[in-house]
Structure 1
Amino acid sequence: EVAVKVFKGEVTSDGYPNDELQACLKAGSHPNLVKSLAQVQQPDNLALIMDLIPSHYQNLGLPPTLATCTRDTFPADFSLEQTQIDKIVQQMRDVFTHLHQNKVCHGDLYAHNTLFDRDANILVGDFGAASMYHMLSESQQQQIRQIEQRALEHFIDDLVSICVQTPDKIVA
């Protein structure tokens, strides 16, 4: 089964649809990325064909609020055990490494853009804010990675905030 994301309009809230589509394809295949299968590119139609996400996956977090600004929120009764957080963090680190090996910056590494299941397996999608940076100098590429590394650290901090146990120090 597949899902089809049809891009409508010339500009989205995160940027240009063609940029998102190209970043998805450049990201390549990884077990924790929503799998892109093909693109449809016709004069009036732009679409991305992806694997259908299994129905047992759900959003890990909720979007930031005006009060939290750039930090994810979670339902009031939601928590994770340390072992679940460790597994999620390791998978997100693997995604981070994979993307940056392919010179793709996700640009939106948040819990609300991460799907997870009861076994703490994750899927990352939503490449609307992604950028390809292969054309930049090595110094500029390093700066892009540092910015996204900071986003990864915030992601980890957000998860630690919902840990049901006293968390061990997790280092991004």
Structure 2
Amino acid sequence: MGGDAAAAGDTLARLRAGRLQGLQRLDLSCGLTEFPREIFALADTLEVLNLTGNAMQALPDDLHRLHRLRVLFCSDNRFTELPASIGRCTQLDIVGFKANAIEHVPEAALPPSLRWLILTDNRIASMPDSLGRCPRMQKLMLAGNRLRTLPAALADCRQLELLRLSANAFERLADALPERLLALPHLTWLAHAGNPYGDAHEAQAAQARPIAWSTLKLDARLGEGASGVIRAAQWQRDDAPPQSVAVKLFKGAMTSDGLPRSEMAASIAAGTHPQLVGVEGRIDGHPEGTQGLVMPIIPPGHRVLAGPPSLASCTRDVYADDQRFTAEQARRIARGVASALAHLHARGITHGDLYAHNILVDDDGHALLSDFGAAAFLPTDDAPRRAALERMDRRALGWLFEELAQRCDDPHALDADRAAISL
């Protein structure tokens, strides 16, 4: 961290000395309280501006002078209002203000050019109607706010594909998921858990299968994601020999998808299936109150199927340029994930984030679906909404099949499987 701050300080010094001419991307995280006006000297080339991790509360009214700016990140600052000056930046494609203290989003703050908006973990009680005047919007991340309703104009975002509404203040499922939203033709990845209408069910499910912290002995770190750190561990159960497991410790009270409690509840309720990573239980009695899950160790040879979406791809995973599949591999992956999804729906759960970057595969095509951060319980008393939510998961499955077919030795290997998906 100290090295990062020093590097950012050096970058700021070079900026102020006029030594960054021609720069296309600028990253500054060095305790800034005000916008450095020297940035305007880069107006003819600057496309990506990352001011995450500072102490800023405002942006200049003439921000639009950065006329080539496409990406603006100001997460982890001290904004209480989304700056209206953003709305005059006509080339902006991506805006991220995660983890501020934003309470108000002015009508004028949303430029029509927006394709990806991140306002996760703020204090927003309502979104403006101008959201509907963003026809390119594909990815809208509003988890961890205070929303009770959605603007009717959201139905005009006909290109919307990914939506995060978890951990807000929706009292009724119909408030979070109005019919006009569920009818959007491309909406595929949806997270809505952690709202008052589902609190009781989630809380009950999340309390199941406790595993005492004292029975776990942590070993090496296996990996780290946006929501938590995964460690190898030994689990001592009664008089049985120690069992090798993986432990996921959540980093905080909020993830990009929602609440750790929601993820734990869905993971436990999902039960077991050959194509699910599965869980042994939830951690109980951590000395610092950290929430976490105990999971089986992934069999050797499994790797992530693809990388997560990039700034350019927005809602599409990124595969290696040379990644190819035989027809048999593609069919095994596709049918395995389809089987896991059918199992989840039968258990009353939507995955909400069915992506290749949440699938582990081995060389034979054996697939394991993971990551329940966006999962939610299906309604039991609302058949139309239940059907719509299941259809979104199947739409994601259809995208996965298409991605596999594009990289398969036989591009028609999955034709029958794709035709069988009911959309």
Q: Contact conserved, 1:72 with 1:158, CA < 8 A, in 2? A: no
Of 143, 157, 169, which residue of structure 1 is paired with 2:388?
143
Unmatched 5+ stretches in structure 1: none
Structure 1 residue 7 and structure 2 residue 229: aligned? no
CA RMSD of aligned residues (A): 1.5
Task: Give the 3-state SS of the residue equivalent to 1:36 in structure 2.
Answer: coil
- Residue 35 of structure 1 deviates from its aligned partner by 2.1
Structure 1 residue 124 and structure 2 residue 372: aligned? no
Q: Counterpart in 2 of 1:65?
A: 310
Question: Residues of 2 paired with 1:34 and 1:166: CA distance?
Answer: 28
- For residues 125-165 of structure 1, the C-alpha deviation after alignment (integer angstroms, 9 at most, x for no partner) is 11111111244512111110011111110111111111123
Task: Give the 3-state SS of the residue equivalent to 1:126 in structure 2.
Answer: coil
Which residues in structure 2 correspond to 1:95-114 (within 5 Å)? 95-114=340-359
Q: Contact conserved, 1:71 with 1:154, CA < 8 A, in 2? A: no
Question: Residues of 2 paired with 1:58 and 1:69: CA distance?
Answer: 22
Amino acid at match of 1:30: H
Q: Counterpart in 2 of 1:79?
A: 324
Structure 1 residue 25 and structure 2 residue 283: aligned? no
Question: Residues of 2 paired with 1:16 and 1:145: CA distance?
Answer: 21
Task: Give the 3-state SS of the residue equivalent to 2:277 in structure 1.
Answer: coil
- Residue 41 of structure 1 deviates from its aligned partner by 3.5
Structure 1 residue 158 and structure 2 residue 414: aligned? no
Identity of aligned pairs, percent?
35
Question: Residues of 2 paired with 1:61 and 1:136: CA distance?
Answer: 37
Amino acid at match of 1:6: L
Question: Residues of 2 paired with 1:38 and 1:136: CA distance?
Answer: 28
**When the two structures are aligned, how many residues end up with a matched partner?**
172
Q: Contact conserved, 1:71 with 1:158, CA < 8 A, in 2? A: no
Task: Give the 3-state SS of the residue equivalent to 2:256 in structure 1.
Answer: coil
Q: Contact conserved, 2:332 with 2:367, CA < 8 A, in 1? A: no
Amino acid at match of 2:340: V
Question: Residues of 1 paired with 2:327 and 2:321: CA distance?
Answer: 18
Task: Give the 3-state SS of the residue equivalent to 2:291 in structure 1.
Answer: strand
Amino acid at match of 2:249: V
Question: Residues of 2 paired with 1:166 and 1:160: CA distance?
Answer: 5
Task: Give the 3-state SS of the residue equivalent to 2:384 in structure 1.
Answer: helix
- Residue 67 of structure 1 deviates from its aligned partner by 2.4
Q: Contact conserved, 1:14 with 1:128, CA < 8 A, in 2? A: yes
TM-score by length of 2: 0.39
- For residues 32-72 of structure 1, the C-alpha deviation after alignment (integer angstroms, 9 at most, x for no partner) is 11121111244812111010112310011111122222122
Q: Contact conserved, 2:379 with 2:385, CA < 8 A, in 1? A: no
- For residues 87-140 of structure 1, the C-alpha deviation after alignment (integer angstroms, 9 at most, x for no partner) is 111111101100000111111111111000011101111111111124451211
Q: Contact conserved, 2:246 with 2:295, CA < 8 A, in 1? A: yes
Question: Residues of 2 paired with 1:162 and 1:35: CA distance?
Answer: 28
Question: Residues of 2 paired with 1:134 and 1:50: CA distance?
Answer: 27
Task: Give the 3-state SS of the residue equivalent to 1:48 in structure 2.
Answer: strand
Of 30, 44, 57, which residue of structure 1 is paired with 2:289?
44
Once the two structures are overlaid, the 10-residue window that deviates more, 129-138 or 148-157, is: 129-138
Task: Give the 3-state SS of the residue equivalent to 1:45 in structure 2.
Answer: coil
Q: Which has the larger radius of gyration?
A: 2
TM-score by length of 1: 0.94
